[in-house]
């Protein structure tokens, strides 16, 4: 990739945005230091993602009034997947429906102890709440109860509601839209959000994908490349959805809702990941059904 991935300029880059940006960069680098990765080659992409999350996800500069809302999901997870030892920091990821739009955010717990369901309001998931928000924060509460503040933007990839996943992916795909396609990546390849689980050294903000249905219609084979064009291998899916419905030859992938290791079709159906073992690209057990 050539040239700067972002510039700090324009009316959107106000004091609040810059404070949030610096805070997120320090948070990210703390995990890299714990993992021993230092400032690697992907650091510009990671910093750009954090800046885009601060700017792209903002719907306005003003604070919205308190309004009825729904806490769609609230789940505790560890951003470092517990690979960071004493630096592990359990965090709650939130997905809120408020003022006609989906918002995602996070709230870190106290050190490695996290927060209880009541303190974090995870116990209100699926319930009607009240909410207000601005470009950097979301405040949620229940009538007659306390209100908590949540930082806008999330990297949590395990939301069950597709609408929440779309909001997580948008900043990552905005970074991909500004990236130069490497010569090693074919013209039909498209960017998907990278999987944010496992060892932090192996994570990528986005991944180039090119998927084809096998001649026998039994599998969907997806070749992958890192943002710089280096091969990231192949991942395969069964020629059916998780509900057992066979996919047509002209299947269409939802590029925003999908991510690495989870392909969602534009119909909303999720492809069944192919878990069968292979040796030298051949099935370890010939004739084994896809599962």
pLDDT at 10: 36
CA 106 – CA 115 distance, rounded (Å) = 12
Phi and psi (nearest 5°) for 248?
Answer: -75, 160
> Of residues 138 and 55, which shows the higher confidence score?
138
- pLDDT number for residue 240: 96
pLDDT band at 18 (very low <50, low <70, confident <90, very high): very low
Percentage, residues of the chain above pLDDT 70: 79
Q: What does the alpha-carbon distance between residue 67 and residue 129 come to, in Å, rounded to a whole number?
A: 9
Tell me the mean pLDDT in the region 5-33.
Answer: 44
What pTM was estimated for this model as a whole?
0.75
Specify the DSSP element, H or E, that contains 169: helix 162-177
Residue 126 structure tokens: 């699926």
Contact between residue 245 and residue 252 where contact means Cβ atoms under 8 Å apart: no
Q: Is 39 a residue whose pLDDT tops 50?
A: no
pLDDT at residue 45 greater than cutoff 60: no
Output 50 or 106, whichever has higher pLDDT.
106
């Amino acid at each position: 990739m050539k040239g700067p991935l972002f510039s700090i300029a324009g009316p959107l880059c106000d004091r609040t945005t810059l404070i949030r940006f610096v805070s997120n960069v320090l948070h990210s680098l703390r995990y890299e230091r714990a993992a021993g990765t230092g400032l690697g080659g992907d650091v510009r992409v990671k910093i750009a993602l954090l800046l885009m999350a601060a700017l792209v996800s903002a719907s306005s500069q003003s604070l919205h009034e308190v309004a009825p809302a729904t806490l769609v999901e609230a789940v505790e997870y560890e951003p470092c997947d517990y690979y960071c030892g004493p630096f592990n920091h359990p965090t709650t990821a939130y997905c809120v429906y408020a003022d006609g739009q989906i918002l995602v955010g996070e709230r870190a717990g106290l050190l490695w102890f996290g927060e209880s369901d009541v303190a974090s309001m995870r116990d209100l998931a699926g319930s009607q709440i009240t909410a207000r928000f601005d470009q950097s924060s979301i405040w949620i509460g229940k009538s007659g109860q306390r209100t908590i503040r949540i930082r806008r933007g999330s990297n949590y990839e395990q939301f069950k509601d597709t609408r929440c996943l779309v909001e997580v992916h948008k900043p990552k795909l905005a970074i991909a839209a500004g990236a130069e396609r490497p010569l090693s990546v074919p013209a039909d390849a498209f960017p998907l959000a990278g999987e944010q689980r496992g060892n932090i050294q192996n994570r990528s903000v986005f991944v180039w994908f090119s998927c084809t249905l096998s001649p026998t219609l039994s599998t969907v084979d997806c070749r992958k490349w890192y943002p710089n064009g280096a091969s990231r291998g192949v991942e395969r899916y069964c020629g059916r959805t998780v509900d057992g419905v066979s996919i047509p030859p002209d299947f269409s992938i939802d590029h925003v809702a999908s991510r690495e290791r989870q392909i969602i079709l534009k119909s909303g159906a999720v492809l069944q990941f192919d878990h069968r073992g292979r040796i030298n690209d051949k099935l370890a057990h010939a004739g084994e059904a896809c599962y």
